[in-house]
């Protein structure tokens, strides 16, 4: 599989605290692949019916969800790891620790070293987006 090419959009944007315009670059998201299309792709890849692929994929997703909710990290093939994480307010004393200090809950993705290497080899094409005033 090739490393691909990613389109990067550059847009002039006013940035604080200097209140000056800078060109900000962001990768362009081409599309979102829906569940139905993904399961169809899996079915074609495996040579099974879409119903079998959908049932299998649904079971995998549910297992991953349950395992992560119970504190497990999940290795997702050769692309990386998924796990739940939190962000919590720091306190000075151990006796002040409590679950009320949790500010944010999130799903974290940690790519494998192979994926990180592949990302370094992606070609970029930069296009500037003109603002209409």
Examine residue 56 and state whether it is found in any structural domain, yes or no: yes
Which residues constitute the domain of residue 58? 34-71
For residue 29, tell me if it sits in a domain: no
Specify if 17 maps to a domain: no
* Confidence at residue 1, expressed as pLDDT on a 0 to 100 scale: 47
Question: Domain count of the chain?
Answer: 1
pLDDT in tens, 61-111: 999 999 999 999 999 999 999 999 999 999 999 999 999 999 999 999 999
Helix (H, G, I), strand (E, B) or coil at 38: helix
Classify residue 67: in a domain, yes or no: yes
Instruction: Express each pLDDT in 32-46 by its tens digit.
Output: 999 999 999 999 999
Phi, psi of 7 (to 5 degrees): -85, 130
More confidently predicted of 5 and 52? 52
User: Is 103 domain-assigned?
Assistant: no
Is 15 part of any domain? no
């Amino acid at each position: 599989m090739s490393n691909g090419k990613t389109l990067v959009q550059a847009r002039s944007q006013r940035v604080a605290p200097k209140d000056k315009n800078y060109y900000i670059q962001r990768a362009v998201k081409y599309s979102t692949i829906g569940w139905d299309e993904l399961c169809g792709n899996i079915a074609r890849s495996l040579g099974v019916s879409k119903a079998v692929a959908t049932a299998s994929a649904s079971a995998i997703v549910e297992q991953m969800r349950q395992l992560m909710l119970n504190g497990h990290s999940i290795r997702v093939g050769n692309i990386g790891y998924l796990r739940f994480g939190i962000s919590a307010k720091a306190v000075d004393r151990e006796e002040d620790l409590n679950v009320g200090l949790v500010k944010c809950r999130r799903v974290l993705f940690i790519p494998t070293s192979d994926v990180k290497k592949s990302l370094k080899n992606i070609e970029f094409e930069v296009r500037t987006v003109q603002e209409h005033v």
